[in-house]
Amino acid sequence: MEIHYHMVVDRLGTTFAALSDPTRRAMIERLSHGPASVHGLTEPFALSQQMISKHIAYLVRARIVIKTKRGRESVCTLRPAAIKTVGDWAFSYRRFWEESFDKLDAVVNQMKKEEVRDDKKHGERDRADGCHKNF
């Protein structure tokens, strides 16, 4: 089990590194609408073919994209399983964050109640002394 866990974490690291670049995220966005040729992926960017090829190679290494040959043309296809792995990993922490936010909300609400109580207590005492708070 531990070896499998480390393999998943290592893959996640590679996937997150691939997703960290805005050009690669834009490529993924384009590929989410369907396969595209390498030339088609190059068009929207003001980058050299060599730089685009490096970005595509990174996405292929991260197992986010599959690159295949169709005749003389290379076609890239999104591999949704890689993105699902990231989603599954993030979802596993969702319960933790939701519980933490619920606890924080309870603490904030308790503090607000205590503040209102203190304001009422001080307000009654101040009126009894003839003092009034001016805000």
Residue the block writes with tokens 């995220």: 25
Above 70 in pLDDT, residue 129?
no
Contact between 42 and 76 under an 8 Å Cβ cutoff? The reply is no
Q: Tell me whether strands 36-37 and 65-70 are parallel, antiparallel or unpaired.
A: unpaired
The reported pLDDT for the residue numbered 91 is 85
What residue ranges do the domains of the chain occupy?
A: 2-82
Secondary structure class of 94 (helix, strand, coil): helix
- Averaged pLDDT of the chain: 82
Query: What pTM was estimated for this model as a whole?
Result: 0.62
Tell me which H or E stretch contains 76. strand 73-78
Over the stretch 12-35, which tens digit does the pLDDT of each residue have?
A: 888 889 999 999 999 999 999 999
pLDDT tens, position by position, 101-119: 777 878 888 888 888 887 7
Considering the domain 2-82 in this protein, what is its CATH number? 1.10.10.10
